[in-house]
C-alpha cells in the first residue's frame, strides 16, 4: 500500500501541466486532493468525490488561507502540499526587463510560495506532521540568459525552503524543493519560442533545446510528479530542507 493512501494533499497551480500530473499521481496512490488555481482543472478531476477545487490566486494571501480552510473543513486535516503555481515572466536582457513584469513574477513565484507555506504551516505545525514541496527549477541553482526574473524568483524559492526547514523540523513538518530541468510542457514551448527568437543559434538552431540535455529529452511532468510524491510520502522521512533535481543531467556540466 502506498504511504499516500488516505492522505490529504493540496496542489496549487493545479490547472497547469505539472499540477495536473501531481493530482493524477496522488489520486492514483489513494490520496484525496485539494486542487487550487485561478481557473478550474479539467472536468475529469472535478467529477471525483476525492477531489475538492478551490479557485484562488496565490498572490492573494486571504485566498490561499481560504483554500487551506477548505481542505481542513472538507477532509479534516492537511497532510501534504505541492506548491506548483508559477509563471515564466519576461524573456529579455536584464536592462530591458520592465519593473512591473518583474514584480509580477516575484509575486506569483515567491510570494505565492510564501503564502502557501504560511497557510499550510498554521495547520501542520499544531498537528505535528506534514510535508511541503515547493516547485523551484534548475533556474533556482544556475543562471540563464534572458531569464533573470524567473531565475531570481526560483533562487528565492530555495531560500524560503531552506529557511523554513530550519524552523519547522522540530515541529515534525518537512519542507523541500523540487528543481525540474526543462519540462515538456506549455510553459517550455513558450520559452523555446521566445528564447529561439532572441538567439536563432540556440541549441544549434533546433526548435527546442531537448537534445542539449545529457539524456537527450525534456523532463516529463510525470517524472516531476513522482519526485513530489516521494517527498510527500513516508519513504522520504529524513529528506528535509533539500533541493531535488529532476533535470536530465542539465546541471552536471
Instruction: Supply the CATH number for residue 121's domain.
Output: 3.40.50.720
Does 203 score more than 70 pLDDT? no
The alpha-carbon radius of gyration of the chain (Å, integer) is 18
**Residue 244, all three cell numbers:** 531535488
The reply to whether 60 and 122 lie within a common domain is: yes
Does 132 score more than 80 pLDDT? yes
Does 143 score more than 60 pLDDT? yes
**Residue 91, all three cell numbers:** 524573456
Mean pLDDT across the stretch 203-216? Answer: 74
User: Can you give the length of the chain in residues?
Assistant: 253
> Which one from 150, 218, 244, 250 is the annotated catalytic residue?
150
The reply to whether 57 and 173 lie within a common domain is: yes
The reply to whether 90 and 208 lie within a common domain is: no
Mean pLDDT across the stretch 179-207? Answer: 77
Establish if 252 belongs to a structural domain.
Answer: no
Q: Are 174 and 240 in contact (CB under 8 A)?
A: yes
Q: Which has the closest alpha carbon to 222: 20, 2, 21, 28?
A: 21
Residues 6+ apart with CB under 8 A from 152: 102, 105, 106
Establish if 3 belongs to a structural domain.
Answer: no
Residue 181: what pLDDT?
87
The reply to whether 193 and 210 lie within a common domain is: yes
CA 197 – CA 48 distance, rounded (Å): 42
Establish if 14 belongs to a structural domain.
Answer: yes
The reply to whether 38 and 94 lie within a common domain is: yes
Residue 95: what pLDDT?
97
Establish if 251 belongs to a structural domain.
Answer: no
Is position 150 annotated as part of the catalytic site? yes
Mean pLDDT across the stretch 170-190? Answer: 91
Burial of 76 (0-12, 13-18, 19+ CB in 10 A): exposed
User: What is each CA distance from 156 to 96, 134, 150, 184, in whole angstroms?
Assistant: 21, 11, 10, 24
The count of structural domains within the chain is 2
Q: Give phi and psi for 129, each to the nearest 5.
A: -165, 155
Residue 183: what pLDDT?
85
The reply to whether 83 and 189 lie within a common domain is: no
Residue 29: what pLDDT?
97
Indicate the pTM of the whole model. 0.94
H or E element in which residue 249 lies: none
Does 204 score more than 60 pLDDT? no
Mean pLDDT across the stretch 120-127? Answer: 98
Establish if 253 belongs to a structural domain.
Answer: no
User: 166 or 193, which is more confident?
Assistant: 166
Mean pLDDT across the stretch 83-95? Answer: 93
Q: 12-53: per-residue pLDDT in tens?
A: 999 999 999 999 999 999 999 999 999 999 999 999 999 999
Mapped onto helix, strand or coil, the DSSP state of residue 116 is: helix
Domain span at residue 124? 8-181+219-246
The reply to whether 118 and 157 lie within a common domain is: yes
The reply to whether 104 and 78 lie within a common domain is: yes
Q: Which has the closest alpha carbon to 102: 115, 111, 89?
A: 89
Amino acid at each position: 500500500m502506498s504511504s499516500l493512501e488516505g492522505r490529504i494533499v493540496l496542489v496549487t497551480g493545479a490547472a497547469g501541466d505539472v499540477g495536473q500530473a501531481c493530482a493524477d499521481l496522488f489520486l492514483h496512490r489513494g490520496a484525496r486532493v485539494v486542487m487550487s488555481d485561478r481557473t478550474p482543472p479539467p472536468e475529469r478531476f472535478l467529477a471525483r468525490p476525492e477531489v475538492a477545487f478551490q479557485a484562488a490566486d496565490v498572490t492573494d494571501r486571504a485566498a490561499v488561507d481560504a483554500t487551506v480552510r477548505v481542505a481542513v473543513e472538507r477532509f479534516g486535516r492537511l497532510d501534504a502540499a505541492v506548491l506548483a503555481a508559477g509563471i515564466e515572466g519576461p524573456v529579455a536582457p536584464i536592462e530591458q526587463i520592465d519593473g512591473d513584469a518583474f514584480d509580477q513574477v516575484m509575486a506569483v513565484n515567491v510570494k505565492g510560495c510564501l503564502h502557501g507555506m504560511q497557510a499550510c504551516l498554521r495547520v501542520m505545525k499544531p498537528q505535528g506532521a506534514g510535508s511541503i514541496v515547493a516547485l523551484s527549477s534548475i533556474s533556482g541553482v544556475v543562471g540563464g540568459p534572458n531569464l533573470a526574473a524567473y531565475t531570481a524568483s526560483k533562487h528565492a524559492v530555495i531560500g524560503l525552503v531552506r529557511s523554513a526547514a530550519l524552523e519547522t523540523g522540530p515541529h515534525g513538518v518537512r519542507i523541500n524543493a523540487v528543481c525540474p530541468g526543462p519540462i515538456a510542457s506549455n510553459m517550455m514551448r513558450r520559452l523555446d519560442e521566445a528564447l529561439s527568437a532572441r538567439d536563432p543559434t540556440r541549441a544549434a538552431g533546433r526548435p527546442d533545446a531537448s537534445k542539449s540535455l545529457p539524456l537527450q529529452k525534456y523532463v516529463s511532468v510525470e517524472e516531476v510528479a513522482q519526485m513530489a510524491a516521494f517527498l510527500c510520502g513516508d519513504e522520504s522521512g529524513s529528506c528535509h530542507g533539500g533541493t531535488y533535481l529532476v533535470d536530465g543531467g542539465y546541471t552536471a556540466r
